[in-house]
Amino acid sequence: MENCCGLLTSKKEPVPLKSVEVELEVRDHVATVVSTLNYENKEDKPLEAVFVFPMPGDAAVCHFSATIGQTQIVAEVKEKQKAREEYDDALSSGQQAFLLEESDQSPDIFSLSVGSLPPGESASIRLEYVTELAVQADEGLRFVLPAVLNPRYHPQGSEGVQVTSVPASLVPYSLFFSARVSSPRPVSKVESNCPMDPLKYLNTEQSQAVVKLAAGHKFDKDVELLIYYKDAHQPTAVVEAGQTSAKPGTLMGDPVVMLSLYPEFPQAVMSSLASCGEFVFLLDRSGSMGVPLNNNEGSQTRIGSARDTLLLLLKSIPMGCYFNIYSFGSSYEHIFPNSVEYSEKTMEEALKKVEGMEDDLGGTEILEALKHIYSQACIPNQPRQLFVFTDGEVGNTKEVINLVKKNSGSHRCFSFGIGEGASSALINGLAKEGGGYAQFITGIDRMQPKVMQSLRFSLQPAVVDISVKWDLPKGVSVTVLSPPITTLFQGQRSLIYAQLTGQSPKTAEGSVTVKYSLAGHPSQNKLHFSLKPAEDSGLTVHRLAARTLIRSLEMVEEEEREGGEPDGVKKKKVVELSVQSGVSSAFTAFIAVNKSSGETIKGPLVRRNVPTLMMMGCPTPSTMWMSHSPAAGGFSGGVHLMQSAAFNISIDGLLMADGLEEDTDEYQMADDSEQEDMYDDPPEAKPELPRRDPLLQLVSLQRASGRWELDPAVAAALGKTSEEVENTQPSEVNKEVWATILALIWLHGFKMDAQEEWELLAMKAVSWLRAQNAPHVTQCVEAGNTLLGCKVQKDALGI
């Protein structure tokens, strides 16, 4: 290999990417991310590189520019096919050109083409996007910078590209990451799963702070930040002035308001959870679910954590409900032909099947499983709640989300993205269109508390008859840009974007009232706000509003296309809005051509393989599958440099134009089964399974009704012998009451830190105890405390 210098791949090939710099600015719950990718071509031939990278599915990409030498080229947004043709024409003319486009299959995958980088030349690519940060269960705001773009499984018959991954220690580029946080309220703390330098406050009010990633990031995990404010998540409104150069009456020319609403439901309604429902659990059993949840030694696999979670769910759903469990891979299975009534018999039968579930169903084809679920008739007076567990590695994201949206009237969908790199577009899209709630389980997160929070949401009465009423000064009209609110959950944020047209005094105020009905109780939340535009907000709110409207129009266009009505009106509107706002869409692309250089670039463009992070726990290199054909309108053949970091980019390979000098046999296509088989190669000898967690051990012994039985297994789970438990039992109390009270005392005495995991099943146990009307409960609690060494009060148990 010629000119082997600088950073090298494992094959001693030069790596053009030198470093990635990411600057994050968080204002309240809105994040602006600027990523700078620095490249240098140390070869004697020109390079063309295609980078494929993940990003938040609801992000608004609003800037793309390239600096080569002293020349900066700022990209424009144009219709996608026109941009591709302009890019190809520039390259064929020997000009430098840059193309940034969104995948046709999934809005959280982007492709960046850099063509071409002359010998000895350096280039910096700058990408900018804005996004809203999701609210977590503990009221933290979550930002994620992915370290890896997981393989997206495509059904048989679709094309893909095989590229190579390496262990994190061999990723040949560096990452610099810094974050600046500001809010009207003090920043209480910023946590991360990666080593960070200490948080530094910039003012005495502690409402502004900066934090940096510690040097030496190993690319072995996503960079995740959790940001906490004091008195967080109060309803707010931000009014942003229009762009002075834009025409009044247009989205960019008028002021736009962003409302953040946090509904508070009456306590009387919230204290009574539903006792009915049809719970359908859909579990991913593709090969990638065998990957560990994190890099810690002995970490549980994704499928193992999902099995434990299903155990908790099956113990926690109320008597009288119905349920079924589906699992999917290249095919799908179900435990029962139809949903069955929850009972001791059906619960035990389901648990036995769950214990045997492995990551052995091949690829990740969720669509057919969902179609079958939706083909099943709903059970009268049993609202359907769908729980989807997946690592999010699918290629037909939009098709899956559209199917959920079409069936949104018949159910609520709660989604869970498991592990690093789960598609945010898929997980968030399922919940948003299905009227449910999305959760991500990464790093050292335990899946169980997040899933149980969603179960509590599913047991809340559905909010109906939601309406939004605006009260604005005379002469000011409002155009709502967000889709109608269809779902409200206690304490969770709802966002509304609206365009304000007309003139009003700067001191004027407006208000918005959200009315709804909850379990037959009419309620409302009202928010007053000033129409005076906020200072120094730039065009962030406008861009987020434009992205929201673009996404809504794209969904309608997709539905019309699937319904055989491709009139293209919505597509035309999307293109106009995207070009006007400078925000990316499925039908547009950023294009930049360097027309200032008088010299044409000569010589064939060269391809180089650049390795990316190997997925955690994979015994063999992972495979990235994308397709992108300008002619077909998607990501096409060839091997791409998949870059991971700044835009969180996973680097995998470099695409070159004609005149390749390397042997292209290395990049032959593999079929989809080979892709997933990479995860399935079993180790020569399976390690001995660790002893089950004591909490899960005790939970596994609970009966469907909520009671525990007095047997040696329960005694062992409590850390006692059968003799100890039996000899201390009050004579007036039967064995089941005694065992159930002991279990409740143990949970309250030793597992309060995991209360959100066992709270619902403990409520079942308390209900069962009350129904027994057992005597001498106080004496029983005292004896239980003495036996277990606890000091739990009877009132704390709720009995």
As a whole number of angstroms, the distance between CA 448 and CA 69 comes to: 52
DSSP conformation letters of 160-197: -----EE-GGG--SEEEEEEEEE-SS-EEEEEESS-BP
Look at residues 640, 656, 680 and tell me which one is the last residue of a structural domain.
680
Q: For position 749, what pLDDT does the model report? A: 95
Q: For position 78, what pLDDT does the model report? A: 97
The residue with tokens 């994620």 is 144
Residue 273: pLDDT band by 50, 70, 90 thresholds?
A: low
* Other beta carbons less than 10 A from residue 595's beta carbon: 13
Residue 517 lies inside a defined structural domain of this protein: no
The model's pLDDT over 578-628, given as tens digits with 9 standing for 90+, comes to 999 999 999 999 999 988 765 566 555 554 434 444 444 333 323 333 333
* Other beta carbons less than 10 A from residue 503's beta carbon: 9
Does 435 lie in the same domain as 402? Answer: yes
Does 126 lie in the same domain as 22? Answer: yes
Q: Which of 96-110, 162-176, 229-243, 285-299 has the lowest mean pLDDT?
A: 162-176
Q: For position 609, what pLDDT does the model report? A: 39
Please report which residue ranges of 465-566 form alpha helices under DSSP H: 540-562
Residue 548 lies inside a defined structural domain of this protein: no
Tell me the two tokens of residue 411: 């159910």
Does 311 lie in the same domain as 189? Answer: no
DSSP tag of 420: T
Does 756 lie in the same domain as 705? Answer: yes
Tell me the two tokens of residue 381: 């007076």
As a whole number of angstroms, the distance between CA 268 and CA 247 comes to: 50
Residue 477 lies inside a defined structural domain of this protein: no
Residue 691: pLDDT band by 50, 70, 90 thresholds?
A: low
The model's pLDDT over 211-239, given as tens digits with 9 standing for 90+, comes to 999 987 766 677 889 999 997 778 889 99
If residue 276 lies in a helix (H) or strand (E), which one and from where to where?
A: none
pLDDT at 662 over 60: no
Report the share of the chain in percent with pLDDT over 90.
Answer: 49
Residue 100 lies inside a defined structural domain of this protein: yes
As a whole number of angstroms, the distance between CA 301 and CA 286 comes to: 12
Look at residues 435, 459, 483 and tell me which one is the last residue of a structural domain.
459
Number of domains in the chain: 3
The model's pLDDT over 253-267, given as tens digits with 9 standing for 90+, comes to 999 999 998 887 777
Cβ contact 516:465 at 8 Å? yes
pLDDT at 674 over 60: no
Q: For position 120, what pLDDT does the model report? A: 84
- Residue 342: beta bridge partners? none
Angle between helices 777-788 and 735-750 (to 10 degrees): 50
Cβ contact 335:349 at 8 Å? yes
Residue 746 lies inside a defined structural domain of this protein: yes
Look at residues 405, 428, 459 and tell me which one is the last residue of a structural domain.
459
| Average pLDDT value for residue range 633-657 | 31
| CATH number assigned to the domain comprising residue 317 | 3.40.50.410
As a whole number of angstroms, the distance between CA 582 and CA 596 comes to: 23
Tell me the two tokens of residue 115: 């063509």
Cβ contact 239:534 at 8 Å? yes
- Residue 414: beta bridge partners? 387
Residue 779: pLDDT band by 50, 70, 90 thresholds?
A: very high
Cβ contact 285:291 at 8 Å? no
Mean pLDDT in the chain? 81
**Better-scored residue on pLDDT, 206 or 776:** 206
The model's pLDDT over 123-167, given as tens digits with 9 standing for 90+, comes to 888 999 999 998 877 788 989 887 654 444 444 444 433 333 445
Residue 4 lies inside a defined structural domain of this protein: no
As a whole number of angstroms, the distance between CA 679 and CA 449 comes to: 27
The arrangement of strands across the sheet holding 223-229 comes to: 134-135, 141-145, 223-229, 187-192
